[in-house]
Structure formats: C-alpha cells, structure tokens
Amino acid sequence: MDRAAIPSVDLLLRKISPLYPGVARDRLLSIARDVLQHVRELELPFEEIESEIARRVARLTQPTLRRVINATGVVLHTNLGRAPLRAFEPVAGYSNLEYDLATGKRGKRDEHFAPLLAELLGVAAIAVNNNAAATYLVLRALAEGGEVVVSRSELVEIGDGFRIPDIMEQSGAKLKEVGATNKTNLDDYSRAIGPNTRMLMRVHPSNFHQTGFVGKPTLKQLAGLAKESNLPLYEDLGSGCLMDLRPYGVDEPLVADSRAAGVNLVSFSCDKLLGGPQAGIIAGDGELIAKIRRHPMYRALRLDKLAVQALSDSLRSLTAGDFASLPGLRMLMLPIDAIRERAEALAGAIEGAKVVAGQSVLGGGSTPDQSIPTWLVALPHAARGLEKHLRASNPPVVARIEKDQLLIDLRTVFAEDDAVIVSSVNAYARSM
C-alpha cells in the first residue's frame, strides 16, 4: 500500500462530516484518527476506511435494544423480555410522578399504581424493581439480624446464578433450613421456631418441580403455625398469577389463594403471568407493608417513572377485566383453532412449508414443565442457515429448531407480523 495515498485526518473529516450531521465533530475526529491509525499499522485495508467509519458511527448512534418477532412459542421468553408489553406512549417531558395536582404538594409515586393493586388484591401493596428485590426488601425490613425458617426443598436458584439463600444472606436475615430436600413436615417448622425467629417463609419452586416421595405443609397449616407463634408468614410466589388460567392449560398458584390461606405477605413478578413490565409486587397486611415502605432500602429499589407508567397501564387493564389487551395473556388464551388457521395461511404462502401439531411453552422461569397445544409451521430449508437469516432480518425473527427443522409457532407472533415472516423466508429461498 502506498502510504502517501492515506488521506490526512482533516481531509477525511471534511469528506465524512456531511454524511453524519447528527454526530459531533469531535466524535467524528476521534473516530477518523483511530481508523487511519489502524490503516497505517496495516490492521485495516485502505479500501475499508469509510465502511469502518460507518460501522463505528452506527454502533454509537443506532439502538441495540430492538423489537423482535418471537416465533419460538415461548410466551414468557426470558431472553426476549418475558411478557410482551402492550404499546403505550411514554409521558414526555415533566410529569406528576411525585406531585399531587389536587393539593399542589409533594405526592408519592405509589399513588399511580397502589390503588389499582388494592382494587385487584384487596390489600395494601408496594412495588420495587423486580421480585428478587422484593424478597430482599421483605427480609431486610422484617427479619434483619433474626432467623427466617424455610424448607430445604425451596432453596432454589432463580436464574443467572442468583439463589434464594444468597439473597437472604445479603438481607442480613439468618437462614434456618428445615426438613429434607424432598419432604418437610409442619413439626420441622415448629421445632425450628425460637426466640430469634422473625418469620416463616415459603418459596415457590419456580424453575423446577419435585415428584415422587415428596411433601410439605399446606399454606393454611403454615399460616396457622405462624399465627400461633405470633410470626408473619411470607410467600415468594414468583410468577404472580392474578387470574385463573387453568381453563387455558396453565396451572399456577393464585395470589388470592395465598391470601385466603392466611399468608401475611406475598411477593411476585410483574413481567410473567401478570403480563406487565419488570417489577416486583409486595402485598399483604397493612402494618407490614407500611414498615417495609419506611425502610431506607425501599428508596434504592423503587420503580423509575417509565416502569411506574408501564405497570399502571397494565394494572388498569387487569382491574377492568380486559385481559386480552395484555399481549402475554392474550397469547395464552388464543384458541388453538385460530392458531391453526393462521399457520395454514402462512404455510400456504411458503413453498414446501407444512403445518404440524406441537406445544407452546410458558417459560419465564416459573412454569418449567407447563406447555399448551399449538400448531407449528415447519419450514423446508436448512435450519441453521435460515435461522441465521431470520435473526438478521428487520425486524429480527427468532424461531426454534427441533430435530434439524426450523419451526414457527404463531402463538407468540403478533398477527400483523405473519407477513414479515413470509417475506423474510421467501427472500431467503430466492437467495439460495
């Protein structure tokens, strides 16, 4: 390469500046200098100067968080944001996040969602940024320095290496394990209660189920023991199921059932079976909720204004009984005949595609072995190549591969995106 052909920084900057009017001159200058240095050190071909600059500017200016089409059939897909959010317009500019418009005085951000939670649950409730934070805050506020009695069978890992015992340790509460891995009796809890006991705790197993020779007390039995011992019973419910989904093939414990059994406090996620944004709800006895809310860590874990708006928006749909307006719940309730009709239409638009019976998976870490019937579109092309092509499309399409075949499950695809999948698959076929 002729080093004399390498343009000066100033010349290159004059050439590229009109191409990126939204990027500050100093930033373009820094990029240009670095790219030219790579060319001089023979780490980058001369011909790729402008394309490399374009790539670097794109990394700075284009968002990495994007809408994707979830064609996997996993409704609460952890890697794709769990429950899909319904569209809402974020409040731009300033807002009355903590301002009481009626009195002109300071307000509380809770007021945007606490009345809705009270209407849904019949008890006091607060929200923090996820259910792990809710668990931590409950234990920190009510059991720091004391003992919390919990069954060994419930010391679960909730994903990405986070484990309930670790969260408990960080809260300052002392874990007192009772029972065996597979079986815990009421007497195990009773014998463990001592002068330093602050709470009994039940943890929803979330991402695993035990079968065979297993057993544990009912919630009603635990609540009775807690009341006799003048202790609160706290249940980490995980998935946050507020409506009975058994008619749709989903068998998850209801928050209302826990309260009816006598549980004093429950916490659960909002981005699973509630169908909303990431958040964690703590609900239960008013005096306990008030104590938790007064704890200094509540401020560190509270929701930001975007989450407050998204949560309030979702809760309004639930209080109105408009479950179908929440995409995750609507997908769970989709009639299988409607899925088949869409699958046949999509397969008919792709040469060689066929419709086969299959199962959609709930996912989300709380329903590990629950699935519901669906109809799948099996695509004819080599699975790995097509899967990569779909991921690179705009918007990206994420599908699943089973037995070297790419499958599309329309349960988790918005109907208006069916045509996008057809177009992307057919474009791949034409390129072969």
d(CA 128, CA 142): 16
d(CA 88, CA 224): 44
Q: For residue 340, what are the contacts with CB-CB under 8 A and spacing of at least 6? A: 355, 375
Look at residue 204 in the predicted model and tell me its pLDDT.
Answer: 81
- Chain centre to alpha carbon of residue 140: 24
CB atoms under 10 Å from CB of 429, counted, come to 16
- Of 271, 244, 254, 282, which is closest to residue 118 (Cα–Cα)? 282
Look at residue 163 in the predicted model and tell me its pLDDT.
Answer: 74
Q: How far from each other are the two terminal CA atoms of the chain, in whole angstroms?
A: 36
Say whether 215 sits in a helix, a strand or coil: strand
- Of 304, 296, 245, which is closest to residue 279 (Cα–Cα)? 304
Retrieve residue 282's tokens: 């703590």
Look at residue 164 in the predicted model and tell me its pLDDT.
Answer: 73
- Of 247, 253, 270, 242, which is closest to residue 83 (Cα–Cα)? 270
Look at residue 42 in the predicted model and tell me its pLDDT.
Answer: 86
The pLDDT profile of the chain, 432 residues, written as one tens digit per residue, is: 566 678 899 999 999 999 999 999 999 999 999 999 999 988 999 889 999 999 999 999 999 999 999 999 999 999 999 999 988 899 999 999 999 999 999 999 999 999 999 999 999 999 999 999 999 999 999 999 999 999 988 777 666 566 777 887 889 999 899 988 788 999 999 999 999 999 999 998 765 556 656 778 899 999 999 999 999 999 999 888 888 888 988 888 899 999 999 999 999 999 999 999 999 999 999 999 999 999 999 999 999 999 999 999 999 999 999 999 999 999 999 999 999 999 999 999 999 999 999 999 988 655 556 789 999 999 998 899 999 999 999 999 999 999 999 999 999 999 999 999 999 999 999 887
